[in-house]
Amino acid sequence: MGRIHNIINRKGKQDAKRSSVFTKHARAITVAVKEGGADPEYNATLKTAIEKAKADNMPNDNIKRAISKGEGAGAGEEYFSNTYEGYGPGGVAVIVETLTDNKNRTAGNIRFYFDKNGGNLGTTGCVSFMFDNKGQILISDENGVTEDQLMDDALEAGAEDIISEDGGFEVVTAPEDFAAVRDALQAKGYEFVSADVKLVPQTTTVLDNEGQVKAMEKLIDLLEEDDDVQNVYHNWEITE
């Protein structure tokens, strides 16, 4: 099973925990408004946060409440962003981005998840050098998408590379070109499995030990279920 199918399956698992996903989106929207204003046309961070929320079917009323909170309805609440780096089972590199109103609680939880599942937290920079910040658009091949046509459309829009893999294609962009490429492909009718600026591993790690695989799956689940965690990046190559 290819990476694209794995991502589809993981999104399905996350859909079952929709309230937690909505909480994460609401925080991201609120912070984006506080930092850059409530107009998504002049606040790229807010525009992206709203698009992600809508992609996960977050109701418009929830989005509006999060925006109002950022404008002052949630006065007194303050969120802090922190990034944690460490190693999962078998030396898998893991980066966790958080947005929290209680840094001590979050730090304790993150450390517990790693320790409980055969991993350990490291110092800042211990694994981030293994990742590149890239725009990444994943497109399934189930709707008749061909590599040649996608290659032409994506490169014309400003993409850096197109990678063919089991289940579909990965369009890679520079972070600053991501929005333009995404919008151009959407305009041509492409449907995305996922589209975001994220940390992409330069190399991957395969886990051959079944116990390590289960522990890594549990670590990712615990991290993604935590309301304070916004993003989890790793270089584990899922081979199933």
3-state secondary structure at position 206: coil
| Mean of pLDDT values over 56-76 | 87
| Mean of pLDDT values over 208-215 | 94
Q: How far, in Å, CA of 14 to CA of 24, rounded?
A: 12
Q: Is the pLDDT of residue 226 over 90?
A: yes
Enter the pTM of the model. Answer: 0.86
Reduce the secondary structure of 59-120 to three states and give it as a string. Answer: CHHHHHHHHHHHHHHCCCCCCEEEEEEEECHHHCEEEEEEEECCHHHHHHHHHHHHHHCCCE
**pLDDT tier at 219, thresholds 50, 70, 90:** very high
Which CATH number fits the domain 3-73, given the four candidates 3.30.70.60, 3.30.70.1350, 1.10.10.10, 1.10.10.200? 1.10.10.200
Model pLDDT, residue 238: 79
Q: Is the pLDDT of residue 5 over 80?
A: no
| Mean of pLDDT values over 214-236 | 95
**Which position has the higher pLDDT, 13 or 87?**
87
Q: Is the pLDDT of residue 1 over 50?
A: no
Q: Does domain 80-128+203-234 have CATH number 3.30.200.20?
A: no
| Mean of pLDDT values over 122-137 | 96
At residue 233, φ and ψ (nearest 5 deg) are -120, 145
Note whether 3-73 and 131-201 share their fold: no
> Mind listing the pLDDT tens digit for each residue in 85-129?
999 999 999 999 999 999 999 999 999 999 999 999 999 999 999
Average pLDDT, the chain: 90
Contacts by residues 219-226 (CB-CB < 8 Å, ≥ 24 positions apart): 219/88, 219/89, 219/94, 219/113, 219/114, 219/116, 219/117, 219/118, 219/119, 221/13, 222/113, 222/116, 222/117, 223/96, 223/110, 223/113, 224/14, 225/17, 225/20, 226/106, 226/109, 226/110, 226/113
Q: Is the dihedral of CA 219, 224, 226, 232 positive or negative?
A: positive
Least-confidence region, from 43-47, 82-86, 98-102, 132-136 = 43-47
Q: Is the pLDDT of residue 16 over 80?
A: no
Kindly state which CATH superfamily the domain 131-201 is placed in: YebC, transcriptional regulation domain (3.30.70.980)
| Mean of pLDDT values over 179-194 | 92
- The residues spanned by each domain of the chain are 3-73, 80-128+203-234, 131-201
Model pLDDT, residue 12: 55
Model pLDDT, residue 77: 77
